[in-house]
């Protein structure tokens, strides 16, 4: 039986199945603990009146509530004056909730499937787009994570039903399969393709390696302290990097065969002294790992062996600073792209700021292919972008 409750962070409706212990909000990315009375109760659904824990500090929740109020006021100003004044906080979850306010109008503009060659943003070229709303082949209820393997195949998850669809490099539908965790969560939180065509997927707070075409589970990758996996990325050398959140903000590194290489405890909080509840990871071609803390709004660079190398970035309104950083990716040249409000902020491998790339619509997930083209998901669409030089 499917039930609902309200996300305590952003107010979004969350769906969960009977007996499911946690659910991830697809809007603010909070991991919400389902109360015992909702898991066991029959014949009813969760409501906003239930108290739900997300594991975040009250200070962070207050910041999110203040920010949502600011965004609501800004939308009113847009309607009456045609000017939208953005004043975002440093918490990326509020940014994700705010983008939903403008997504309905953008959905119609992006509903065509298979079109190519359009322009948007500051020189960003849409080389290809596919998808559309629906449950049939090649369509999505809500396109979630996107990944590309070393064979050029594209994987896209559907946040609503646990389905992962496989497309060839041209965006043509190939096949599909589903994931289902032991605790009942089928939300593919993150995924990344390996050089030889396997797919590493994070769902139900666990980490699994699947055969990319058939979906067969090849193995489970483990943290010494059990469940708690969130984001994952695989480098060209096969290095698998994952973030782990249960008791602390750990960086977990595996070899290409799934063998545990090392665990970096408190990869962010251990260096800042501040709690970090949402880590994003990206691996470059040499196996170096870039860890973005969306609460601390800083990128930390680690070696393939888990040694700390560098840190860069900070929250603020100045050029090169983050307003609502929410994801990180590295292209084949080694440039680091941080998804922030309004597009991407670009850095070199040493953390020097190179410029911005504007993207005019909300992006949920992103991944580079072997041709240095960026795949992004937005609503029910997947787009392949050729990015201009940062400016």
> Bridge partners of 15?
4
* SS3 state at 24: strand
| Separation CA 199–CA 196 (nearest Å) | 9
Give the pLDDT of residue 222.
97
C-alpha distances (whole Å) from 246 to each of 14, 15, 273 are 21, 22, 17
* SS3 state at 59: helix
CATH of 112-386, one of 2.60.40.10, 2.120.10.30, 2.60.40.1510, 3.30.465.10: 2.120.10.30
> How far from the centroid of its chain's Cα atoms is residue 288's Cα?
20
Sign of the C-alpha dihedral computed for residues 149, 161, 381 and 83 taken in this order = negative
Question: Which residue, 202, 197, 349, is CA-closest to 284?
Answer: 349
Portion of the chain with pLDDT greater than 90, in percent = 63
> Bridge partners of 155?
147, 166
Packing angle between helix 92-109 and helix 58-81, nearest 10 degrees? 40
Q: Judge whether 366 and 346 are in contact, CB under 8 Å.
A: no
* SS3 state at 71: helix
Give the pLDDT of residue 79.
46
Distant-in-sequence, close-in-space partners of 138: CB < 8 Å, separation ≥ 6 = 113, 130, 131, 132, 165, 167, 173
Numbered ranges of CATH 2.120.10.30 in the chain = 112-386
Residue range 29-76, pLDDT digits in tens: 777 787 776 665 444 333 333 333 333 333 344 444 434 454 555 544
Mean pLDDT on 237-241: 97
C-alpha distances (whole Å) from 264 to each of 22, 140, 256, 261 are 25, 36, 18, 10
Question: Which residue, 185, 131, 126, is CA-closest to 156?
Answer: 131
Q: How confident is the model at residue 159 (pLDDT cuts 50, 70, 90)?
A: confident
CB atoms within 10 A of CB 192: 27
Distant-in-sequence, close-in-space partners of 288: CB < 8 Å, separation ≥ 6 = 301, 302, 303, 304, 309, 349
Question: Which residue, 317, 271, 321, is CA-closest to 291?
Answer: 271
| Separation CA 49–CA 111 (nearest Å) | 36
Give the pLDDT of residue 25.
77
Q: Judge whether 245 and 228 are in contact, CB under 8 Å.
A: yes
Residue range 171-184, pLDDT digits in tens: 999 999 999 888 87
Give burial (CB, 10 Å; 0-12/13-18/19+) of 76. Answer: exposed
Q: Judge whether 263 and 251 are in contact, CB under 8 Å.
A: yes
Mean pLDDT across the chain:
82
Please give the full DSSP string across 95-125, using - where no structure is assigned. Answer: HHHHHHHHHHHHHHHT--SS---EEETTTEE
pTM: 0.72
Question: Which residue, 246, 182, 248, 193, is CA-closest to 220?
Answer: 182
Which of 46-60, 249-263, 265-279, 358-372 is the least confident region?
A: 46-60
Q: How confident is the model at residue 21 (pLDDT cuts 50, 70, 90)?
A: confident
> Bridge partners of 365?
377
C-alpha distances (whole Å) from 365 to each of 153, 237, 245, 256, 290 are 16, 22, 20, 23, 16
């Amino acid at each position: 039986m499917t039930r609902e409750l309200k996300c305590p962070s952003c107010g979004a409706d969350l769906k969960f199945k009977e007996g499911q212990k946690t659910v991830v909000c697809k809007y603010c990315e909070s991991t919400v603990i389902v109360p015992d009375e909702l898991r066991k109760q029959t014949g009813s659904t969760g409501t906003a009146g239930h108290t739900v824990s997300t594991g975040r500090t009250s200070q962070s929740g207050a910041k999110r509530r203040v920010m949502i109020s600011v965004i609501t006021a800004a939308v009113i100003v847009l309607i009456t004056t045609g000017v939208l004044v953005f004043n975002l906080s440093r918490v990326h979850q509020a940014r994700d909730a705010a983008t939903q306010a403008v997504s309905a109008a953008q959905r119609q503009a992006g509903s065509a499937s298979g079109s190519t060659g359009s322009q948007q943003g500051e020189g960003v070229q849409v080389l290809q787009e596919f998808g559309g709303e629906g449950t049939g082949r090649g369509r999505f209820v809500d396109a979630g994570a996107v990944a590309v393997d070393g064979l050029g195949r594209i994987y896209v998850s559907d946040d609503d039903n646990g389905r992962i669809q496989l497309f060839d490099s041209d965006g043509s539908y190939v096949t599909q399969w589903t994931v289902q965790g032991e605790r009942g969560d089928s939300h593919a939180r993150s995924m990344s393709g390996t050089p030889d065509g396997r797919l590493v997927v994070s769902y139900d707070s666990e980490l699994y390696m699947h055969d990319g075409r058939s979906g067969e589970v090849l193995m489970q990758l483990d943290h010494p302290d059990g469940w708690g996996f969130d984001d994952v990325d695989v480098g060209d050398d096969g290095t698998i990097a994952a973030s782990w959140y249960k008791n602390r903000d750990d960086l977990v590194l595996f070899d290409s065969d799934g063998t545990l290489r090392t665990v970096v405890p408190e990869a962010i909080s251990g260096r800042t002294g501040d709690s970090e509840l949402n880590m994003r990871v990206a691996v470059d071609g040499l196996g170096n790992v870039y860890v973005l803390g969306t609460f601390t709004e800083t990128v930390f660079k680690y070696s393939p062996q888990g040694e700390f190398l560098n840190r860069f970035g900070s929250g603020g309104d100045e050029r090169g600073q983050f307003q609502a950083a929410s994801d990180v990716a590295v292209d084949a040249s080694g440039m680091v792209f941080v998804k922030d409000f309004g597009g991407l902020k670009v850095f070199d491998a040493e953390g020097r700021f190179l410029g911005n790339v504007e993207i005019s619509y909300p992006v949920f997930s992103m991944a580079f292919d072997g041709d240095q083209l960026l795949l992004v998901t937005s609503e029910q669409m997947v787009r392949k972008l050729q990015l201009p030089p940062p400016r």
